[in-house]
Amino acid sequence: MRDAFLAINTHAGYLVKNLKKLGHKAFYIDNYNKNSLEKISKRHFLNKFIETIQNKHSLIKLIYGSGLEDKKSIFKLLESKTTIQGNNLNTLEYCNNILNLEKELKKSGLKIPKTNRTPLNNNIKSITKPFSSSGGLGIKFFKSIKKGHYYQEFIPGPTFSVSFFITRKKFFLLGYNKLFHLKGFHKNPFIHAGAMNIPKIEKSEEIEKSVKNFSSIMGLRGYNSIDFKIFNNEIFVLDVNPRITSTFKIYNELYSNDLLRLQIGLENKKGIFMKKSLRKFYGFVYVFSNKKFKFFKDMENDKIISDLPINGEIIEKDSPVFTINCSASSPSSVVKLLRKEINTAKKNYNCYDIDI
């Protein structure tokens, strides 16, 4: 019997499509089809789902992204029934809470904003963050004490991330990314709305050295990313993501699906080659609805649009509608293309603007 892959992610369609391009049989659980991500917290559902795959496949390999952070109750089941392609789930759990990582980050030359389990001083502008979250969900400016949240100083300015890959203890810096947010999305003001890769930035050599040290201390493997800000000439780490994130798509596209091939081949003994620099730039944005409406396709250039709903599907307010993807030879050209498509989407649909 052939091996099979199980992809678990908030939106797993991209991973499944590209696993199939590599010739693999793939199954998935996410928030955008009948196999709702929330259902896997019920052991009966997950057991039955995995057993169905086991009936026709000798081994199930797990590739995961966001969505497992708050589901510790099923970690042992996943570890016993699948072979994980990437960091183990204990690492994911440990990195959920940035306070756990303060010592390792400091040893690597990095720091986090002022952070505590209890509210900070009133003179410090702060935000509340769930201990287990992804995609910016549940992060808001501090107004009141919230159970299951911690409190962190708000650092102004743009948010960046650094993407890197580790295989057989070899560290590869993939690149730096600028993260996008929605405008006027008060329900979740820090929700992730897309990203694009950018050239080297301020303190890039310092960041690369520190991230390399950190990944060695933590024993990371496969694809990882770290979100950060630069303020007053200091680097502040916001989140450590030891898993597939949305920015994985950027580098997998730029490397023609080789990044996914490497992620699922971490145990291979063959040497790998990864270009140190890329001459192309890729960006994407998630279009979110600002009103409830019925979706009908009304786009001229749908080659750059992915994750489309079905015609007639009801789109709830504050929900993602589709994804816009653009690539070009310079960051400014990517921004120009994205902005053009965002404006078109705003004309045709009830959706939020995006700060790019």
Contact status, residue 325 vs residue 284, Cβ threshold 8 Å: yes
Whether residues 65 and 125 share a domain: the answer is no
> 300: which 2 tokens?
């001229």
Task: Give the rounded distance of the alpha carbon of 176 from its chain centre.
Answer: 14
186 Cβ neighbours under 8 A, 6+ residues apart:
none
Would you say 136 and 181 are in contact if contact means Cβ atoms under 8 Å apart? yes
**Rounded CA gap, 207 and 162, in Å?**
8
Tell me whether residue 273 is in a domain. no
List the domain range (segments joined by +) for residue 181: 94-263
Residues 160 and 19 in one domain: no
Question: CA–CA separation, 74 vs 122, rounded Å?
Answer: 39
239 vs 227: CA distance, rounded Å: 5
Pairing of strands 281-288, 192-198: antiparallel
Report, in angstroms and rounded to the nearest whole number, the Rg of the chain calculated over CA atoms. 20
Show pLDDT as tens, one digit a residue, over the chain (356 residues).
789 999 999 889 999 999 999 999 999 999 876 668 888 988 899 999 999 999 999 899 999 999 999 899 999 999 999 999 999 999 999 999 999 999 999 999 999 999 999 999 989 999 999 887 778 888 999 988 888 899 999 999 999 999 999 988 899 999 999 999 999 998 889 999 999 999 989 899 999 999 999 999 999 999 999 999 999 999 999 999 999 999 999 999 999 999 999 999 887 756 565 665 567 999 999 999 999 999 988 766 577 999 888 889 999 999 999 999 999 999 999 999 999 999 999 999 999 999 99
User: Domain ends where: 231, 263, 295?
Assistant: 263
| Rounded Cα distance, 346 and 350, in Å | 6
Q: What CATH number should be reported for the domain holding residue 119?
A: 3.30.470.20
Q: How far apart are CA 69 and CA 40, in angstroms?
A: 12
Residues 173 and 312 in one domain: no
Count of the separate structural domains present in the chain: 3
Task: Look at residues 122, 129, 171 and name the one whose alpha carbon lies nearest to residue 146.
Answer: 129
Based on the domain organization, do 249 and 308 belong to the same domain?
A: no
> Do 116 and 253 have their domain in common?
yes
Query: What does pTM read for this prediction?
Result: 0.93
Which tokens hold the place of 92? 């994911």
How far is Cα of residue 330 from the mean position of the Cα atoms in its chain? 23
